[in-house]
Amino acid sequence: MVAERRARETWPPGSPTAPPPWPPRPTGTPPPRAGEGPGAWPPRQPTHHVGAPVATKRKRRADASPWHWLLLIPIVLPLLPPLYNRMEPSLLGLPFFYWCQLAFAGVAAVTTAIVHIATSGRR
């Protein structure tokens, strides 16, 4: 098979001794047009729209909820180092810088739980 492919690549097209193109197309079938067949590019445009386009109202995603905005809190808080870039007050010997970041993990868990509980009944 590799030898056949190399032979096809080295022989000039249209040569009487060149092997047929691979894979051979059944006789009587036209070559595929753009957008047809497996892996074709560009994809074929759908033809189910007839006439002028009709304005339709956008459907809201099933998982869209204003509760999801709360998830920005645990994302934005750690991105603001001036809030926690200090040593005092310490907690159990840990500087504020460290225990505040640990508290951010707790805030993230609580916020995620609240959003999950608030949006789980929408399905």
Residues pairing with 91 in the sheet: 94
Q: Tokens in use for 116?
A: 């999950």
Helix, strand, coil percentages, rounded to 5, for the chain:
45, 0, 55
**What would the pLDDT profile of 73-102 be if each residue is shown by its tens digit?**
999 999 999 988 888 998 899 999 999 999
Give the global pTM.
0.48
Ranges 55-59, 95-99, 106-110: which has the least confidence? 55-59
Count Cβ neighbours within 10 Å for each residue of 11-49 and write b for 16 or more, e otherwise.
Answer: eeeeeeeeeeeeeeeeeeeeeeeeeeeeeeeeeeeeeee
Q: State the pLDDT at residue 61.
A: 72
**What would the pLDDT profile of 34-50 be if each residue is shown by its tens digit?**
556 666 665 566 666 56
pLDDT at 10 over 90: no
- In the chain, the amino acid numbered 23 is P
Q: What angle do CA 96, 90, 109 make, to 5 degrees?
A: 50
